[in-house]
Amino acid sequence: MKMRLELFLVVSALICATGKPLSKATARNKLLLISFDGFRWDYDQDVDTPNLDQLVKDGVKAKYVTPPMLTMTSPSHFTTITGRWVEDHEVVHNMMFNSTTNLKVPHKQTLSRSEWWNNGVLPLWITAQNQGLKTASFYYPGGGANYSGQAVNRALLEKFDHVDDNETEWRENIDKVMSWFSDEDFHLVTLYYGEPDNVGHAKGPDHPDRKKIIQQIDRTIGYLRGAISRHHLNDKLNVIITSDHGMTTVKKRPLVDEIILNKYLNLLKLASFEILDYGGFGILTPRPGKEQEVYDALSNAPNLTVYKKSELPESFRLAKSERLPPIVIVADLGFNLNSRFIVYVNRGDHGYHNGEMDMKTIFRAFGPDFKKNFVSEPFDSVHVYPLMCKLLQIEPAPHNGSLSVTEELLHGTGGSTARLSAALLLSMLLFVFTAP
Ligand SMILES: [Zn+2]
């Protein structure tokens, strides 16, 4: 009897050990994070996407993901890679600006400007490197900056004239990333593609060319899966595919009257700094003593909401930002904020309220640590960061996400099949050894 009890205790301990998810004893798998800029959550629903469909069977899918306010490329990508709200990481626009000096730097030129990205919050690359991992950024926003003097181990930056939709180059980039994993033992690579954002802006989300680029993305995912196999990474590499925001059709005359803000206030007289001709989101610094006048005038304009920074809704997670100017404007879905005349020629745009379904984006993941055939409820993109730390088995930096939201995507949570079969096997052994 004593012997049986001892055996039972040993077996119980073994069952517990097997069931422990991604413990330090488990081999650390590698992680590839891919972002397809501007991939709206439902872009795969009106076009044939066999490879994306297969991913749902072979991995996990979230019904959709909610990006942070601001639904723009740099702010949202930086929330994903830091797990911080925009008010904390302070990348508050695609353009770099200084509202005192009136400096404005276009998006692509910001990508190597550390003073725009490095605001005391450490992105995943740096936190992982500080814990002994090797990381790389392939065009991912923020990857080209230095953080507290540290650079990402390897960072490729998009050239100013980079062509975003070259399918051959997309495949070459995958081949390069695979060799980084298999030949150079990188642990984390973030890979960025500028589509379908460009097509969405230029032609609108309903244009046939948007469907074509989604099919190109789908073929690229098929290519990726083949490349993973060729490099023998199937049971070593986890892959997350996501994006930064959605896209909506811009409303134009004669359907609507476009917003021209100078109709409601004299911008030159009342404001010392502005970024207004940039989709659905605008910022403005009133001249001294003019804040209330600017606020009142903009409050009279239709199809937009004006906020004093101090009165921004808590849910925006923007009010604490030091960089944001005192006045923030958000246009209604599909309206663009034009300052003096219609300068913005886009057919599609983003930057609108993150509660709008058109701003929601995608999430797919597969690999050895992810469940199969699992569809999760929607979640905020801020929760992807603790998931990535868990996958890489590193201590996260302080962040605003919660692993409890995304942990259910992984094996070892909610009773995986591996855990059950181990328990079953050990119970049988117990029976054999203890049977009289
Ligand atoms: Zn974007």
DSSP secondary structure letters along 45-62: SSS--HHHHHHHHHSEEE
Residues with CB under 5 A from ligand 1 (ion): 37-38, 73, 197, 244
pLDDT band at 344 (very low <50, low <70, confident <90, very high): low
Q: Is pLDDT of 321 > 60?
A: yes
Active site residues: 73
pLDDT averaged over every residue in the chain: 91
pLDDT of residue 4: 47
pTM: 0.89
Taking each continuous run of H as one helix and of E as one strand, the counts in the chain are: 15, 22
- Among the listed ranges 25-34, 193-202, 325-334, 356-365, which one has the minimum average pLDDT value? 25-34
Distance (angstroms) between ligand 1 centre and the Cα of 277 equals: 16
pLDDT band at 427 (very low <50, low <70, confident <90, very high): low
pLDDT of residue 11: 40
- Among the listed ranges 10-14, 133-137, 362-366, which one has the minimum average pLDDT value? 10-14
Q: Is pLDDT of 26 > 80?
A: no
Angle among Cα 390, 391, 395 to the nearest 5 degrees reads: 35
Q: How far is CA 290 from CA 146, 260, 273, 309, in A?
A: 38, 20, 13, 15
pLDDT band at 186 (very low <50, low <70, confident <90, very high): very high
- HSE (side-chain half, CA atoms, 13 Å) at 34: 24
pLDDT tens for each residue of 92-142: 999 999 999 999 999 999 999 999 999 999 999 999 999 999 999 999 999
Percent residues over pLDDT 70 in the chain: 89
pLDDT tens for each residue of 258-306: 999 999 999 999 999 999 999 999 999 999 999 999 999 999 999 999 9
Terminal-to-terminal C-alpha distance of the chain: 11
Is the distance from CB of 303 to CB of 331 less than 8 angstroms? yes
pLDDT of residue 421: 45
Q: Is pLDDT of 21 > 90?
A: no
Distance (angstroms) between ligand 1 centre and the Cα of 38 equals: 5
Is the distance from CB of 348 to CB of 248 less than 8 angstroms? yes
pLDDT tens for each residue of 46-99: 999 999 999 999 999 999 999 999 999 999 999 999 999 999 999 999 999 999
pLDDT band at 19 (very low <50, low <70, confident <90, very high): very low
Distance (angstroms) between ligand 1 centre and the Cα of 94 equals: 9
Distance (angstroms) between ligand 1 centre and the Cα of 119 equals: 21
pLDDT band at 7 (very low <50, low <70, confident <90, very high): very low
Distance (angstroms) between ligand 1 centre and the Cα of 104 equals: 19
Is the distance from CB of 173 to CB of 156 less than 8 angstroms? no
- Among the listed ranges 148-162, 258-272, 313-327, 341-355, which one has the minimum average pLDDT value? 341-355
pLDDT tens for each residue of 380-398: 999 999 999 999 999 999 9
> 310-330 burial, b for 16+ CB within 10 Å, e for fewer?
eebeeebbbbebebbbbbbbb
CA 186 from centre of chain: 21
pLDDT of residue 59: 98
Distance CA 263, CA 257 (A): 12
Percent residues over pLDDT 90 in the chain: 84
Average pLDDT over residues 338-363: 93
What sign for the dihedral angle of Cα 249, 250, 254, 256?
positive
Q: Is pLDDT of 31 > 80?
A: yes
What structural domains does the chain harbor? 22-96+105-246+358-409 (3.40.720.10), 259-345 (3.30.1360.180)
The DSSP line for 336-352 is -EESSS-----SEE--S
Distance (angstroms) between ligand 1 centre and the Cα of 256 equals: 25
